[in-house]
């Protein structure tokens, strides 16, 4: 039994005795994720194992290709946070080759990136996360009049009449009565962990539908500058969309007055939607769950942000970043550590518990020296077979995700990490919204280190980004009005002007967290390429020292109200907005039973 109780270097206790519950794959996420937990006799989670269960090999596919093309390949790493990999990629190539971009290109890229942030946060909250807090079926019992009173109390958003809410309710009622429940079929409706009164549930469901409509509009900003969404165009050396506002209809140029006006109007509506719908909803829903403060995991210990939104073009130093760069270790908020992506002693990746091969299994590697060589081997204590895994063996290799570490520490990344670092840096634009929200909820600062804190930070960040959109749009207009129309620098477009060997790094704070692409170029082609993505940080398996990743840490010590319907696991995992690929079920060894019972 001694072997079943472990203390990790970060100070978490892991206990493998008790029931093993397997959730595979987890739905309402991006990609394929498996989660296994052990619960004790009081149904509290005592051990957690998270496994990324898909691999596509894009790092190998881009080898030998033209570095100017690679944004298109890497953008296909994700169609949900679309664009962020492309941005990391063009920045990596530009960093390697010493290419600078014009100020307008910087404004346009920033507008596209901020648009992505707001869009992703909105869709994540309403369509991937809200149903962990909102009981759709309960809203059928709501009094629309009361919903209106609540809505009008928390927001000045105009769509809040009793007629509006009763229309939504009526539509939903008929939908449910049709017997074809579609997306809402077999949800955990009526689960004891749902705490909202029917009226607030109705408010949330109405906004679920409204956000579904609204998200279509936000992305039109990408369509103007990048031609489509998902997967807009990008370009090494700037942006491909030329500006022409003085000829008839812009003479067919991508950026003309009509398109700029469209962008401007969408930005205004985005600010309104976030201020009047998203933020008030988070605070209203949060106020019913402020006692549910599980899921903090690594957030009170180790958090990391590469920083983002350079104020001036081409300056990626920490002092020029509007979202601060830094790392906090062991919860020491007074001591913000510097982050240098080129320093091979800081960020390194292990594959000890991942389905990859390194020459030396115990070593770690900086991404510039990274190797991605698949090796699918299951541990000796795996239950099941190679093509029917019933239970993973976390002592061996158990995930397609590598384990990145910053100064040997597992780190949490994402909106909460960014807000903690912004707060600790004393930045008013991060500190003030956090303090205001916490005081509105009536919870102490420590409440931030929780599942709810993660969800709140995302909403605060959407608001920050929406307002920043206005700033960069104004700057773009100012540039154009002063006669600057350049959008691309082509002086180093031709590979014959490149050095025979070069290496670079591009970083982005993506919606889900810190994203880095490391590139090595030789004779005009890609020699090596490594991406360390936010979910690689958060969803990492253990390392040789036994440090656990953010997903695993966050699940520990959470009680499950009904283990056969592990809503709380989804609630916390979703708060990270996992980016793997999607599908879920609690599987079982014996057909229909729900949880595996394994006394080890």
Partner 1 sequence: MDDDSFYSLIQRQGISRRSFLKFCTFSALSLGFGLEMVPEIVHAFETKPRLPVVWLHGLECTCCSESFIRSGHPLVKDVLLSMISLDYDDTLMAASGEQAEKSLRQTIEDYKGKYLLAVEGNPPTKEEGMFCIVGGKPFIEQLRWAAKDAKAIIAWGSCASSGCVQAAKPNPTGAVPIHEVIKDKPVIRIPGCPPIAEVMTGIITYMVTFDRLPELDFRNRPKMFYSQRIHDKCYRRGHFDAGQFVERWDDEGAKKGYCLYKVGCRGPTTYNGCSTTRWNGGVSFPIQAGHGCIGCSEDGFWDNGPFYSRLSNINVLGVETDADKIGFSLLGAAGAAMAVHAIASGVFKNKIKKATAQSPKSGSVENMLEERKDRERPKENS
Site for partner 1 in 434-493 (CB under 8 A): 485-488, 490, 493
Residue 85 CB, nearest approach to partner 1 (Å): 9
Among 11, 42, 179, 334, binds partner 1 (CB under 8 A): 179
- The residues, any chain, with a CB within 8 Å of residue 198's CB and separated by 6 or more, are 138, 139, 140, 141, 142, 143
99 lies in the binding site for partner 1 (CB under 8 A): no
Q: Is 314 in the site for partner 1 (CB under 8 A)?
A: no
Tokens for 349?
A: 């990746």
CA dihedral 215, 219, 221, 226 (to 10 degrees): 180
Is residue 72 close enough to count as binding partner 1 by CB under 8 A?
yes
Beta-carbon-side half-sphere exposure of residue 487 (alpha carbons within 13 Å): 18
How far is the C-alpha of 540 from the C-alpha of 50, rounded, in Å?
A: 8
Cβ closest to partner 1, residue 168 vs residue 438: 168
Q: Which of 14, 389, 438, 515 binds partner 1 (CB under 8 A)?
A: 389
Whichever of 421 and 586 has its CB closer to partner 1, that residue is 586
CB of 202 to partner 1, least distance (A): 15
First to last CA, the chain: 8
Q: Does 94 bind partner 1 (CB under 8 A)?
A: no
- Residue 317 within binding range of partner 1, rule CB under 8 A: no
Stretch that binds partner 1, among 139-147, 151-159, 209-217, 452-460 (CB under 8 A): 209-217
Q: Which of 14, 136, 142, 515 binds partner 1 (CB under 8 A)?
A: 136
Contact (CB, 8 A) for 582 and 27: yes
- 245/441 with CB nearer partner 1: 245
Position 76 contacts partner 1 (CB under 8 A): yes
| 493 neighbors 284 (Cβ within 8 angstroms) | no
Binders of partner 1 among residues 324 to 353 (CB under 8 A) are none
Q: Which stretch binds partner 1 (CB under 8 A): 91-99, 363-371, 410-418, 558-566?
A: 558-566
**Piece of 27-35, 316-324, 449-457, 467-475 that binds partner 1 (CB under 8 A):** 27-35
Strand partners, 23: 35, 586
Question: 97, 154, 224, 508: which one contacts partner 1 (CB under 8 A)?
Answer: 224
510 is a site residue for partner 1 (CB under 8 A): no
CB 423 within 8 A of CB 430: yes
Q: Which of 3, 41, 174, 481 is the binder for partner 1 (CB under 8 A)?
A: 174
| 293-312 binders of partner 1 (CB under 8 A) | none
Q: Which residues 28-47 are close enough to bind partner 1 by CB under 8 A?
A: 28-32, 34
Residues 6+ positions from 267 with CB-CB distance below 8 Å: 221, 466, 469, 470, 473
Closest separation in Å from C-beta 437 to partner 1: 27
Closer residue to partner 1, CB minimum distance, 220 or 366 = 220
Candidate ranges 87-95, 164-172, 435-443, 532-540; the one touching partner 1 (CB under 8 A): 164-172
Q: Does 254 bind partner 1 (CB under 8 A)?
A: yes
CA–CA distance, 340 with 137 (Å, rounded to integer):
49
Assess 388 for contact with partner 1 (CB under 8 A): yes
| Per CB under 8 A, 244 contacts partner 1 | yes
Q: What angle do CA 340, 344, 345 make, to 5 degrees?
A: 85
User: In a 3-state reduction of DSSP, which class is residue 559?
Assistant: strand
Bridge partners of residue 517, in order along the sequence:
506, 531
Give me the least distance between CB of 214 and partner 1, in Å please: 11
Burial class (CB in 10 A: 0-12, 13-18, 19+), 361: middle
Judged by CB under 8 A, the residue of 25, 324, 511, 541 near partner 1 is 25
Question: 388-391 and 45-52 as β-strands: parallel, antiparallel, unpaired?
Answer: unpaired
DSSP string, 404-448: EEETTB--B-SHHHHHHHHHHTT-HHHHHHHHHHHHHHT--GGGG
The size of the interface with partner 1 (CB under 8 A), counted in residues, is: 119
Q: Does position 275 bind partner 1 by CB under 8 A?
A: no
User: Cis (ω within 30 of 0) for the bond into 25?
Assistant: yes
Would you count residue 578 as binding partner 1 (CB under 8 A)? no
Span of 16-24, 285-293, 319-327, 472-480 interacting with partner 1 by CB under 8 A: 16-24
Question: Could you say whether residue 73 binds partner 1 (CB under 8 A)?
Answer: yes
User: Is 181 among the residues that bind partner 1 (CB under 8 A)?
Assistant: yes
User: Is position 561 an interface residue for partner 1 (rule: CB under 8 A)?
Assistant: no
CB 519 within 8 A of CB 507: no
Neighbours of 111 (CB within 10 A): 24
Q: In this structure, what DSSP letter does residue 490 have?
A: -
Q: Is 24 in the site for partner 1 (CB under 8 A)?
A: yes
């Amino acid at each position: 039994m001694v072997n079943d109780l472990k203390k990790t270097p970060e100070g978490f206790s892991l206990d493998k005795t008790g029931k093993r519950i397997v959730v595979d794959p987890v739905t309402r996420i991006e990609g394929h994720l498996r989660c296994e937990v052990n619960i004790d006799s009081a149904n509290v989670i005592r051990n957690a194992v998270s496994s990324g269960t898909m691999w596509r090999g894009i790092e190998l596919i881009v080898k030998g290709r033209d570095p100017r093309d690679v944004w298109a390949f890497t953008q296909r790493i994700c169609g949900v946070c679309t664009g962020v990999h492309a941005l990391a990629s063009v920045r990596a190539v530009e960093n390697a080759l010493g290419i600078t971009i014009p100020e307008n290109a910087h404004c346009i890229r920033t507008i596209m990136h901020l648009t992505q942030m707001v869009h992703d946060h909105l869709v994540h909250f309403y369509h991937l996360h809200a149903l962990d807090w909102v009981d759709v079926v309960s809203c059928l019992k709501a009094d629309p009049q009361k919903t209106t009173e609540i809505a009008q109390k928390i927001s000045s958003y105009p769509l809040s009449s009793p007629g509006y809410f009763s229309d939504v309710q009526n539509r939903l009622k008929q939908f449910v009565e049709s017997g074809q429940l579609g997306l809402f079929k077999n949800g955990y409706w009526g689960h004891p962990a749902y705490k909202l009164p029917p009226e607030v549930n109705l408010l949330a469901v109405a906004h679920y539908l409204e956000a579904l409509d609204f998200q279509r509009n936000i992305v039109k900003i990408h369509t103007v500058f990048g031609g489509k969404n998902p997967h807009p165009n990008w370009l090494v050396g700037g942006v491909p969309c030329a500006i022409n506002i003085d000829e008839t209809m812009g003479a067919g140029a991508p950026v003309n007055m009509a398109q700029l006006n469209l962008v401007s109007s969408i930005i205004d509506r985005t600010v309104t939607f976030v201020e009047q719908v998203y933020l008030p909803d988070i605070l209203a829903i949060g106020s019913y769950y402020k006692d549910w403060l599980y899921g903090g995991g690594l957030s009170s210990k180790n958090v990391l942000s590469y920083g983002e939104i350079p104020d001036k073009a081409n300056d990626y130093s920490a002092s020029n970043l509007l979202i601060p760069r830094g790392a906090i270790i062991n919860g020491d908020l007074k001591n913000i550590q510097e982050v240098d992506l080129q320093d091979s002693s800081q960020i390194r990746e292990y594959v000890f518990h991942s389905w990859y091969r390194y020459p030396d299994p115990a070593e770690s590697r900086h991404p510039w020296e990274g190797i991605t060589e698949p090796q699918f081997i299951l541990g000796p204590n795996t239950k099941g077979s190679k093509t029917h895994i019933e239970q993973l063996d976390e002592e061996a290799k158990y995930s397609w995700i590598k384990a990145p570490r910053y100064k040997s520490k597992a780190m949490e990344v994402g909106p909460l990490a960014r807000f903690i670092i912004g707060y600790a840096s004393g930045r008013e634009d991060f500190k003030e919204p956090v303090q205001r929200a916490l005081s509105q909820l009536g919870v102490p600062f420590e409440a931030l280190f929780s599942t709810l804190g993660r969800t709140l930070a995302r909403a605060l960040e959407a608001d920050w980004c929406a307002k920043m959109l206005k700033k960069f749009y104004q700057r773009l207009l100012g540039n154009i009005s002063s006669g600057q129309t350049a959008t691309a620098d082509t002086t180093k477009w031709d590979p014959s002007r490149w050095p025979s060997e070069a290496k670079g790094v591009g970083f982005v704070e993506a919606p889900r967290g810190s994203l880095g692409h490391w590139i090595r170029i030789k004779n005009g082609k890609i020699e090596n390429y490594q991406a360390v993505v936010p979910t690689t940080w958060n969803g990492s398996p253990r390392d040789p020292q036994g440090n656990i990743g953010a997903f695993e840490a966050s699940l520990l010590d959470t009680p499950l109200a009904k283990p056969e319907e592990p809503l709380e696991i989804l609630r916390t995992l979703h708060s990270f907005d996992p980016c793997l690929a999607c599908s879920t079920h609690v599987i079982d060894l014996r057909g229909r039973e729900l949880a595996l019972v394994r006394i080890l």
